[in-house]
Amino acid sequence: MSVASQDTAIRTGRITRTLIYVVLILFALFYMLPLYVMLVNSVKPLSEITGGGMMNLPEEFTLEPWFKAWSSAQIGVEPTGLAPYFWNSIKMVVPAVAVSTVLGALNGYVLTKWRFKYDTILFGLMLFACFIPFQIVLIPMARMLGLMGLAGTTWGLALVHVVYGIGFTTLYFRNYYAVFPTELIRAAQIDGAGFFQIFWRILLPSSGPIAVVSIIWQFTNIWNDFLFGASFAGADSQPMTVALNNLVQASHGVKEYNVHFAGAILAATPTLLVYIVAGRYFVRGLMAGSVKG
């Protein structure tokens, strides 16, 4: 989106402006509230939380909940902490993001520069696939993963995320390449450059920004997925979100809220970091998925 601040014609009085600032700041506090609650409570002993001090800064600072959430909290039946699940998520996310982005780039290239009959219909079908409620594919997907010998594996999950991510990656690259001058492609063709040469030498070097958008979008979406993880992962391939939910919902023993909060931050850290470092591209991805590209 273009958010370059520009000259607004609206003029506002002093009182109105103050009111506007008050409202904007109140909302900022509302959005920060859960993050604040998670952060301060992840570094205090349990007794401070149960004693009514959820909103207070910690009296006694401790990193114990973090260590516990990472390496020794009870998840399911094993006291492994979230660490192994964190790596499960990484192992699932990296190949899924890479493959879906590469396929999206190639698809976008074909759909804009090598147009053929019915290509818009094909693209429409791919695009609609992004928005289906995934409940409609859960049952056959479980069967299919079983038939392919991928049931309960990280590879199986990665495959699922590639399949249902291609629509968005294709959308990004298609909209991006659509405005790339086709004359350059034709000129290269006349010079005898082939399909892949043109892609490699002409389009790819200028695809940096959209590749970042696609990678960030896919990374965030796949990392945050819960439905596929809960449906298709085996006990030792569960992603971080599923493990976090198991940690928080565990019905046995004392509820260690501070450990839950530390775990929640651990699960949120990768996507939050990406957002802090490259938020601009994340927002661009969000907008491209909703408003006209």
Partner 1 sequence: MAHSANADFKTRLQNWIPKLVLSPSVAMMLVFVYGFILFSVYLSFTDSRLLPSFGWVGLENYSKLWRLSHWEVSIKNMGIFAALYIVICTTIGLGLAIFLDQKIRGEGLLRPIYLYPMALSFIVTGTAWKWFLDPGIGLENVMHSWGWESFEFRWIKDRNYAIYTVVLAAVWQTSGFVMAMFLAGLRGIDNEILKAAQMDGASNWNLYRRIIIPQLRPAFLSAFVILSHLAIKTFDLVIALTGGGPGRATELPATFMYSYTFSRNQMGIGAASATIMLMTIAAIMIPYLYSELREKR
Residues 274 to 293: which contact partner 1 by CB under 8 A? 274-275, 279, 282-283, 286-287, 290-292
HSE (side-chain half, CA atoms, 13 Å) at 72: 6
Is position 38 an interface residue for partner 1 (rule: CB under 8 A)? yes
Tokens 């005898």 locate to 192
Q: Which residues pair with 233 in a beta bridge?
A: 152
Q: What is the footprint of partner 1 within residues 200-219 (CB under 8 A)? A: none
Exposed / middle / buried, residue 198 (Cβ in 10 Å: 0-12, 13-18, 19+): buried
Q: Per CB under 8 A, which region of 64-72, 75-83, 193-201, 204-212 contacts partner 1?
A: 193-201
Is position 227 an interface residue for partner 1 (rule: CB under 8 A)? yes
Give the number of other CB atoms < 10 A from CB of residue 95.
16
Contact (Cβ atoms closer than 8 angstroms) between residue 234 and residue 43: no
Among 14, 15, 52, 181, binds partner 1 (CB under 8 A): 52
Is position 228 an interface residue for partner 1 (rule: CB under 8 A)? no
Going by C-beta distance under 8 Å and a sequence separation of 6 or more, which residues neighbour residue 177? 108, 109, 112, 113, 203
CB 208, min distance to partner 1, A: 21
Give the number of other CB atoms < 10 A from CB of residue 34.
11
Number of residues this chain uses to bind partner 1 (CB under 8 A): 107
Is position 259 an interface residue for partner 1 (rule: CB under 8 A)? no
Which structure tokens are listed for 286? 């969000």
Q: What is the footprint of partner 1 within residues 104-123 (CB under 8 A)? A: 106-107, 109-111, 114, 116, 120, 122-123
Among 71, 128, 201, 277, binds partner 1 (CB under 8 A): 128
CB 263, min distance to partner 1, A: 8
Three-state secondary structure call for residue 78: strand
Is position 43 an interface residue for partner 1 (rule: CB under 8 A)? no
Among 90, 103, 151, 204, binds partner 1 (CB under 8 A): 103
Is position 82 an interface residue for partner 1 (rule: CB under 8 A)? no
Going by C-beta distance under 8 Å and a sequence separation of 6 or more, which residues neighbour residue 283? 1
